[in-house]
Amino acid sequence: KLSPRSSILTYLIKYYKLDIEISTDTESESFIKLFPLRKTPTFIGNDGFQLTETIAIGIYFLSMIPNHDLLGDNDQEFASIIRFLSMLNQEGAMSWVGAFFRLSGRLPYNKEIIDENLITLDIIGQILDKRLANDRISGYLVGDKISYADLYGVKLFGIALYTLLGEPYLTKYPNFAKWFKRVSNHKFFRGQYKDIKFPQQQLTYPGSEDWLVVSYYILMLRNFQNKTTVYSELEFYIESI
């Protein structure tokens, strides 16, 4: 199944036309032997070179692309990009999972854990909103142009906003909202977010797993244009972390 951590890499492959085969075969004996933690994404090169962890794989993919400018113009910008990638991948993604899975019925309801994760997402919103408020000219997380941190951030927060946080989060953090709209319209995303409408309310506990299956399938298919991405990412919500 493709998670947001994996799907950002498939977008890199397709947008930059990299000669890399995409596979979702994660249950085979050969995969488990190579990657015993059974976590994705993973990468195997033609020479046997192996990588795990989405940030490492993403940077390696970018090294294959001539004349790209997604990793900054100097060491400070590169370090700042890694900073945001790490925060979004760790605290951001795991806090979304920690709250969404319990509110949707995938994991047992636990108000204390849910509240802790929502607080973390709020802190991240404050950090990003403040950063973007101090850089009104460029409107990007690092430097004066779009970087891999921006693309990665939109991919992760697009899911968090749609399934959990909704419009209240965008209203609360207006600089973040402007940034999300601007970056999500980049051609890199192939129109995935063009007509997206986020829920008017933050997700609350419905008390029924059927609500997750029915409501989000309908909403996703109604608002997203990229149906392949919809199915793969929704499978991630329901089937795995």
pLDDT digits (tens, 9 = 90+) for 206-229: 654 444 443 454 454 445 444 444
Claim: this prediction has a pTM higher than 0.75:
yes
Token code pair at residue 235: 């499978």
DSSP symbols for 51-113:
EESHHHHHHHHHHTSTT--TT-SSHHHHHHHHHHHHHIIIIIHHHHHHHHHHHTTSS---HHH
In DSSP terms, which residues pair with 52 in a beta bridge?
42
- Produce one character per residue of 72-81: b if its CB has 16 or more CB atoms within 10 Å, e if not: beeeebbebb
**Which of 153, 6, 161 is CA-nearest to residue 70?**
153
pLDDT digits (tens, 9 = 90+) for 121-179: 999 999 999 999 976 668 899 999 999 999 999 999 999 999 999 999 999 999 999 99
User: Among 18-32, 106-120, 225-239, which stretch is predicted with the lowest mean pLDDT?
Assistant: 225-239
